Each structure stands twice: as C-alpha cells, then as structure tokens.
C-alpha cells in the first residue's frame, strides 16, 4: 500500500532529534510558556526572515487571534467584509465568521487554485476591509496586483499560510508578504507537530503584542487583563518538537519538489490534468499535489486497485456546507467544478523513487472506459 501520507515514517527519520527534545522537556519540569517556546518563536522568525512570531494552539486559532487583534486595535469592526477564497479549507472561513466578520467568498483562478486580483476586485464593496490570502496546496497566492488593490482600497492582507511554509515570492518568504500570517503545524502539514500547534507572524508590533496577550487570557502582566482573551498557548513539548523539525523543513520541501517534477514530466493521460506551475518554482512547496479528472470516481477506484491512496481536498465547497447555508445562493461555479474534479495523490518524503514510479505508471494506465 502506498500511503497518502505516513507520519510514522517521516518522524522515524528524525527520531534522534525528536526523542532528545521530548526527553529534555520531560526532565525540565516546565511545560507551558518557557524556553522551548521562546526558542521556537525566534527560530521560526529567523527562518521567515522578517517580523516576529507568536506560537499558538493551532492554525484556526492563529487566524482567529489575528482577526480578533485587528478588532481590538480598532482596525476592523464587527460586520466588516473579508474576502475569502471559495475553495479553501473550512477553517479559513470559520476564523472570519467566529470574529463577527462577514465572509465574502470569491472563486479562484481554475489554473492556480488561488484567488487572483480580478476575483478580489470583483468582490470589493465599500465595506470590504481585508483579504484572506490562502496559499492553497502550498502555492504562493500573493501578487503585486493584489497588493496594489489592497493599498488602493485600504485593505488588510492576511495570509492563511497553513499549507505553504517555506514557499517564497521573489526571495521573500510566504507568511511575511501581508500584514499578518497564520501557520498551522497540524501533524500532516509540511512542518508538523506531534499534536496541535500553530503560529502567528507579523512585522506589526501592535499585532504581535495583542496576539501574545490574547493567547494568554488577554494578559501581558500576570493577573492584569487588558483584553478579554483566551487560552490559545503553544505548549513546551510541541514547541520542542517543532524546533527539532524546523531545520529539516527545506529538505522535506525539496523532496516534495522532486516528486512534483517527476509527476509533471512523466504523467501523461488525456483524462487527467496536472497543476499548472513549473515544479521547480520556489513559489510552491507542494503540500498537496492536486490533479483533476472528470472521471474522478473511477480514477480513485483504479488507484486503490493499485494500492495507492488518494484524498479529495475538498469535496464540498464552503457555500454548500450546512454551516454556511446563508451563502448557498451565491453562484460559485469554479469552486463547484473543482470540488467535483480535484484529487490529491501521495506526495512527501515517505515516498521513495519506486513508489513514485508505481504512481506514475498507474496514472498513465488509467482509462475510464475500462
Ligand atoms: C490546516 C488548515 C487550517 C487550520 O489549521 P489547524 O491547525 O488544523 O487548526 C487553516 N487553513 C488551512 C488552509 C489549512 O489547511
């Protein structure tokens, strides 16, 4: 069986670093808010090359804390409209609606799977205050045109960088391109903790200070509370796991690029479309390698008959979810057609070259008429 993702295999490769870090925390007797967190935050801000980092409980909370900070700082107000891609993971939208802000869904460019300036422009109204730029599947979504739109309309650019840590845009790391960014270290992300974890990055000291306070009951000095905050902390054990694994992220991402390059050059089947981007581009870290087919169900069966796992990201668009029934009347044809055609095939350092050969061969032999 070729697994879609094999966390045991990926983490076994780093077992020396991971076990040493776990033992260090265990023996320190200090489990929340200590050196491990500080070390990881510094290490990640070095890696990003700009701004400061605040470790938090998970990716959804990282996004929620960003929106809540802008509300606390008076730079957003309840009811403001936030542009969100129609084809993203639901957490992107949940963070917006949980903050009392309005989700305005925009269809992506069908080739990049990311929103573009044209889509953003079409969604802007006098109440639009921010764009949630999701770097979907690991691919940078930031462009100069989107920045110009944000500048000319006074919009905040908030990056959902749950999937693209390590990608860059003309030498600047994704996650440092907008006003603030959220990261997820859910175990299956390119940099995965051994549990839930996330982070906020920003070059804006007010956002950083507010997120720091909000994650800790709204307090920056013990027993003094300047905000009605939460408990959204990143614990020492997860911070230590992440600090142990971050030095290997670029190696993981490079292996993903190698596999993407093999898929790009060797998969050739008229019933399958491939992602449209040079596989060596530094703008992509290939969190997912997403193909499209109008015969997706038979393709899934065919792969499974060859012992290859595949997963749909994401089968039901946000506006067709029961939770967002108020958005269901908006026509979002690209989101709907992507949801019916996309399929993610295995990618990651758990695959060896034989696995890649097997996957390529199986895809090339797929014929929906058989
Ligand atoms: C994973 C993910 C999140 C949420 O992160 P969690 O750590 O699982 O809360 C948010 N947005 C996107 C695009 C994601 O892929």
Q: Residue 319 maps to which CATH number?
A: 3.90.1150.10
Name the residue at shortest CA distance from atom 10 of ligand 1: 91
Q: Whole-angstrom Cα distance, residue 282 to residue 262?
A: 16
Cα 367 to averaged position of ligand 1 atoms, centre (Å):
34
Domain end position, chosen among 208, 223, 247: 247
2 occurs within a structural domain = no
In this predicted model, what pLDDT tens digit does every residue of 38-61 receive, in sequence order? 999 999 999 999 999 999 999 999
Is-contact 203 175, C-beta < 8 A?
A: no
Whether residues 214 and 293 fall in one domain: no
Q: What is the mean pLDDT of residues 289-295?
A: 98
**Is the CB–ligand 1 distance for residue 88 below 6 Å?**
yes
Whether residues 232 and 260 fall in one domain: no
Is residue 277 predicted with pLDDT exceeding 90?
no
Residue 160: count of CB within 10 angstroms of its CB:
30
**Is the CB–ligand 1 distance for residue 160 below 6 Å?**
yes
1 occurs within a structural domain = no
266 occurs within a structural domain = yes
**Is the CB–ligand 1 distance for residue 119 below 6 Å?**
no
Whether residues 229 and 257 fall in one domain: no
Whether residues 232 and 275 fall in one domain: no
Name the residue at shortest CA distance from atom 7 of ligand 1: 59
Cα 190 to averaged position of ligand 1 atoms, centre (Å):
12
Name the residue at shortest CA distance from atom 14 of ligand 1: 162
Whether residues 218 and 290 fall in one domain: no
**Is the CB–ligand 1 distance for residue 310 below 6 Å?**
no
Is residue 25 predicted with pLDDT exceeding 90?
yes
Residue 304: count of CB within 10 angstroms of its CB:
13
**Is the CB–ligand 1 distance for residue 314 below 6 Å?**
no
**Is the CB–ligand 1 distance for residue 133 below 6 Å?**
no
Residue 260: count of CB within 10 angstroms of its CB:
23
Domain extent, residue 259, equals 249-365
Q: What is the largest CA-CA distance in the chain?
A: 69
List of E strands, 46-112: 52-56, 81-85, 102-106
Whether residues 288 and 217 fall in one domain: no
Is residue 244 predicted with pLDDT exceeding 90?
yes
Q: Which ligand 1 atom is at minimum distance from the Cα of 198?
A: 7
In what helix (H) or strand (E) does residue 159 lie, and over which residues does it extend? strand 156-160
Distances (CA, A) of 286 to 31, 264, 329, 335, 370: 33, 12, 33, 20, 31
| Residue indicated by tokens 């730029």 | 133
226 occurs within a structural domain = yes
Cα 272 to averaged position of ligand 1 atoms, centre (Å):
27
Number of domains in the chain: 2
pLDDT at 163: 98
pLDDT at 64: 98
Is residue 85 predicted with pLDDT exceeding 90?
yes
Q: What is the mean pLDDT of residues 235-256?
A: 98
CATH number of the CATH domain containing 169: 3.40.640.10
Cα 60 to averaged position of ligand 1 atoms, centre (Å):
6
| pLDDT band, residue 279 (cuts 50/70/90) | confident
Q: Whole-angstrom Cα distance, residue 369 to residue 20?
A: 53
Whether residues 64 and 147 fall in one domain: yes
Domain end position, chosen among 198, 229, 247: 247
Whether residues 184 and 61 fall in one domain: yes
Name the residue at shortest CA distance from atom 2 of ligand 1: 162
Q: What is the mean pLDDT of residues 202-207?
A: 98
Query: Residue 287: CB partners within 8 Å, gap ≥ 6?
Result: 137, 138, 163, 164, 189, 190, 256
Whether residues 240 and 267 fall in one domain: no
Cα 17 to averaged position of ligand 1 atoms, centre (Å):
25
Cα 232 to averaged position of ligand 1 atoms, centre (Å):
15
Is residue 303 predicted with pLDDT exceeding 90?
yes
Is residue 280 predicted with pLDDT exceeding 90?
no
User: How many helices and strands, by DSSP H and E, does the chain display?
Assistant: 13, 11
Q: Which ligand 1 atom is at minimum distance from the Cα of 58?
A: 7
**Is the CB–ligand 1 distance for residue 263 below 6 Å?**
no
Is residue 370 predicted with pLDDT exceeding 90?
no
Q: Whole-angstrom Cα distance, residue 121 to residue 119?
A: 5
Whether residues 240 and 151 fall in one domain: yes
Average pLDDT over all residues of the chain: 97
134 occurs within a structural domain = yes
pLDDT at 183: 98
| Residue indicated by tokens 């069966």 | 301
370 occurs within a structural domain = no
Whether residues 146 and 242 fall in one domain: yes
**Is the CB–ligand 1 distance for residue 132 below 6 Å?**
no
Domain end position, chosen among 247, 266, 297: 247
**Is the CB–ligand 1 distance for residue 234 below 6 Å?**
no
Is residue 278 predicted with pLDDT exceeding 90?
no
pTM of model > 0.95: yes
Q: What is the mean pLDDT of residues 336-362?
A: 98
260 occurs within a structural domain = yes
pLDDT at 24: 98
Whether residues 63 and 14 fall in one domain: yes
Q: Which ligand 1 atom is at minimum distance from the Cα of 136?
A: 13
Q: Whole-angstrom Cα distance, residue 23 to residue 345?
A: 36
CA-only gyration radius of the chain, Å: 21
Is residue 65 predicted with pLDDT exceeding 90?
yes
């Amino acid at each position: 069986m070729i697994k879609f993702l094999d966390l045991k295999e990926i983490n076994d490769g780093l077992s020396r670093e991971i076990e040493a870090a776990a033992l260090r925390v265990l023996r320190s007797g200090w489990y929340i808010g200590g050196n491990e967190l500080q070390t990881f935050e510094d290490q990640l801000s070095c890696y990003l090359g700009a701004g400061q980092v605040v470790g938090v409980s998970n990716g959804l909370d990282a996004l929620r804390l960003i929106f809540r900070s802008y509300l606390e700082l008076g730079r957003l107000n309840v009811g403001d409209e936030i542009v969100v891609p129609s084809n993203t993971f639901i957490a992107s939208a949940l963070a917006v609606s949980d903050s009392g802000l309005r989700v305005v869904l925009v269809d992506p460019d069908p080739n990049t799977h990311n929103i573009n300036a044209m889509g953003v422009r079409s969604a802007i109204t006098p109440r639009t205050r921010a764009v949630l730029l999701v770097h979907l599947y690991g691919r940078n979504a930031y462009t100069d045109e989107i920045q110009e739109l944000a500048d000319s309309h006074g919009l905040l650019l908030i990056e959902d960088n749950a999937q693209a840590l390590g990608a860059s845009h003309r030498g600047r790391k994704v996650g440092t391109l907008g006003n603030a960014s959220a990261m997820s270290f859910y175990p299956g992300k390119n940099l995965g903790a051994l549990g839930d974890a996330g982070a906020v990055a920003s070059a804006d000291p007010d956002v950083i200070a507010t997120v720091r306070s909000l994650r800790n009951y709204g307090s920056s000095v013990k027993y003094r509370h300047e905000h009605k905050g939460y408990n959204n902390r990143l614990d020492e054990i997860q911070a230590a796991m992440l600090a142990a694994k971050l030095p290997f992220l670029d190696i993981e991402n490079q292996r993903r690029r190698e596999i993407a390059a093999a898929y790009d050059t060797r998969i050739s089947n008229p019933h399958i479309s491939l992602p449209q981007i040079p596989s060596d581009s530094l703008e992509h870290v290939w969190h997912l390698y997403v193909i499209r087919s109008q015969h997706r169900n038979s393709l899934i069966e065919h792969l499974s008959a060859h012992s290859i796992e595949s997963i749909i990201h994401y089968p039901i668009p946000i506006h067709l979810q029961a939770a967002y029934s108020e958005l269901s009347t908006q026509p979002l044809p690209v989101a709907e057609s992507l949801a019916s055609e996309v399929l993610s095939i295995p990618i990651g350092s758990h695959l060896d070259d034989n696995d890649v050969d097997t996957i390529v061969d199986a895809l090339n032999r797929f014929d929906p008429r058989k």
